[in-house]
Structure 1
């Protein structure tokens, strides 16, 4: 399990999603090369979550398509898609009392027939995934009893045992303490998969993502390496804030400092 997972090539072609005549995602062309970690950023309501849902299949795009290694994700059945793509949602709360080990083992279901029992190989994948994400000691705990950071780690383990080529994460650090934010994003970056994630925190996005796409009103308004995208001018235009952007002397990544509006 510590071997890098296979990495897919993700592309969206003019991907759109329309509801009641309103385009929530408007003709998005996006690419994530094998092994890249690509971030989608933008203000609330910009279409980040809707875009990701169109990619991983809980929403059917009303225009365009998402391709993984040239195959149309929207044309796949749910099980076939889950053999190649794993998702980690914002909030890992569960209303049922499964153990952490059982939740992680669910990641093997796309590779099995209905009611097929777990094999020794499946059990080893689960054990290794729990070890890799640092929650092996919690294997027999009830999943809903975990902290937010522990739940996100368990969901990362579930994604690992799917053996995907693409991992899609919607605000994976939402509501987490800073330590867990850093640990989760470090883990994502080290998976070896291609990763597409929506992030709210621009400084985390700048440090952990190879490239960024900025959404505003459902459209891509900027894309490229973080140092090319995160400028004071863009933040003023898209987010409506005044900010200073500098290069961090240790990480080399752009660092955003927000400034209060001038006194009236």
Structure 2
């Protein structure tokens, strides 16, 4: 079992490839139980930062702390007990059923070659049911649609019982029903969550705080209401907007204006 929601701190994290910097000293925090979103245009460094946080990439400068411990000092299994990842793409799953892929999330909590016990089986079934994928359990993972795969990967992360959940575009390929259900589920979990999101309105609805990246730097951070402003969106994304208030949640809601438009015929997304 997890020891509870993790505390995350990225301190002056830098990352470069062949001398070309992709991240320029990123500072980011997520308090225990928070849902923190990372947003920004394509190429801003969102996925690179997330990979540095969960250990797929080693920062070329700075450090990542999990509950005050330098993540680089943690063993692979220890890190896997603390951090569950929902990537954009799943490698190493060829020929496996959905149930087998989800059961992989229990591996950090078992000894080498230890078989699944009754508790593991129950957890896998419950996670599949939670994400609406129970009917997919015996299908081959590599034969699923993009949305079905995404739900299975979220289920795998759930059974890992993490203190920190790192998600890279978790709503990718999902229709609106499952986008809302998955993000609502993440929000309700007893874990800290760090999400890379493309949809700013979903980020505003489900995240406690947002970090906006641009060119590998933090352009803004704060609550959605503090961050999602018309001047910032114009500067970072190069788009004209109006910021409304969502009629149900009270969260800021972005109305995108067409180029040269005055607000007529805009897309609201309500």
Normalising by the residue count of structure 1, what TM-score does the alignment of the two structures yield? 0.93
Greater mean deviation of Cα atoms: 49-58 or 107-116: 107-116
User: What 5-or-longer segments of structure 1 have no aligned partner?
Assistant: none
User: Which of 87, 108, 114 is the equivalent residue of 1:116?
Assistant: 114
Structure 2 residue ranges without an equivalent (≥5)? 262-270
8 A Cα contact 1:92 1:152, kept in partner: no
Task: Measure how far apart 1:196 and its partner are.
Answer: 0.1
In 2, are the aligned partners of 1:25 and 1:219 still within 8 Å (CA)?
Answer: yes
Q: Is the 8 A contact 1:86 1:162 kept in 2?
A: yes
Q: Deviations over 1:192-227 (max 9, x none)?
A: 210001001110100010100000111111100001
* CA deviation after TM superposition for structure 1 residue 92, in Å: 4.3
Residue 106 to residue 163, structure 1, CA distance change in 2 (3 Å): same
* Aligned 1:65-76 pairs, distance under 5 A: 65-76=63-74
Aligned to 1:246: 244
Question: In the alignment, which residue of structure 2 is the partner of 1:54?
Answer: 52
Which has the larger displacement, 74-83 or 216-225? 74-83
Corresponding residue pairs, total: 261
The equivalent residue for 1:152 is 150
Query: Which deviates more from structure 2 when the two are superposed, residues 189-198 or residues 173-182?
Result: 173-182
Is 1:201 aligned to 2:222, yes or no? Answer: no
Kindly indicate whether the alpha-carbon contact (under 8 Å) linking 2:150 and 2:174 is maintained by their aligned counterparts in 1: no
2:211/2:222 contact within 8 Å kept:
yes
CA distance in 2, matches of 1:207, 1:5: 28
Could you say if the C-alpha distance between residues 103 and 168 of structure 1 is closer, same or farther in structure 2, counting changes exceeding 3 Å?
A: same
Equivalent of 1:79 in 68, 73, 77: 77
Q: Deviations over 1:69-93 (max 9, x none)?
A: 1111122222211011000012347
Counterpart of 2:5 (choices 7, 15, 31) is 7
CA contact (8 A) 2:147 2:172 kept: no
| In 2, Cα distance between equivalents of 1:250 and 1:107 | 35
Q: Which moved more, 1:56-65 or 1:185-194?
A: 185-194
TM-score normalised according to structure 2 size: 0.91
Residue number in structure 2 paired with 1:63: 61
How far did 1:18 drift? 1.4
1:80-136, CA deviations, whole angstroms, 9 ceiling, x for partnerless residues? 110110000123476612111101110111122222212222222212222222222
Partner Cα separation in structure 1 for residue 241 and residue 232 of structure 2: 10
Assess if the C-alpha contact under 8 Å between 1:90 and 1:173 holds in 2: no
